[in-house]
A and B are shown apart, each in its own frame.
Chain A
Amino acid sequence: MELSDEALLAGVAGGDADAMAAFVRRHQARVFGLALSIVGVRAVAEEVAQEAFVRVWRHAGGFDARRAAASTWLLTITRNVAIDVLRVRRDLATDPIAMAQWLIAPSNDGDRVPDSIGITEALRELPAEQAVAVVLSVHFGLTAREIAEREGIPLGTAKTRVRTGLLRLRALLEVNRD
Chain B
Amino acid sequence: MTEHDAHDELSDALAEFATGAASGADRARVLRQVGGCADCREELASLSAVADEVLLIAPERQPAAGFESAVLDRIAALEPAKPAPARRPKRRRVYRALAAATAAVLIAAGAALGVWWATAPDRELAASYRETLGVADGRYFTAAPVVDAEGGQVGHVFAYQGDPSWVFAVLDGAPEDGTWDVVAVTGEGTDAIATCEVADASCGAGATVDADIYDLHEVELVAPDGTVLTATFTH
Q: Is the CB of A46 within 8 A of B19?
A: no
Instruction: Place the interface of chain B in its size category.
Output: 35 or more
Q: Is the CB of A33 within 8 A of B15?
A: no
Residues 58-117 of A at the B interface (beta carbon under 8 Å)? 58-59, 61-63, 68-69, 71-73, 75-81, 83-84, 87, 103-104, 108, 111-113, 115-116
Q: Mark B35-61, 1 if CB is under 8 A from A, else 0.
A: 000000000001101111111111111
B224 proximal to A (CB < 8 A): yes
Q: Mark B106-136, 1 if CB is under 8 A from A, else 0.
A: 0000000000000000000000000000000
Q: Is the CB of A33 within 8 A of B60?
A: yes
A9 proximal to B (CB < 8 A): no
Q: Is the CB of B82 within 8 A of A57?
A: yes
How close is A48's CB to chain B, nearest CB, in angstroms? 10
Residues 1-16 of B at the A interface (beta carbon under 8 Å)? 11-12, 15-16
Stretch at the interface among B66-74, B96-104, B157-165, B205-213: B66-74
Known: A20-B72, A54-B71, A166-B51. A76 touches B225 (CB 8 A): yes
Residues in A with CB closer than 8 Å to B227 are: 80
Q: Is the CB of B15 within 8 A of A112?
A: no
Residues in A with CB closer than 8 Å to B22 are: 143
Q: Is the CB of A170 within 8 A of B55?
A: no
Rounded to whole angstroms, the CA-CA distance of A112 and B60 in the bound complex is 6
CB < 8 Å: which of B50, B58, B60, B179 contacts A169?
B50
How close is B176's CB to chain A, nearest CB, in angstroms? 11
Q: Is the CB of B55 within 8 A of A138?
A: yes
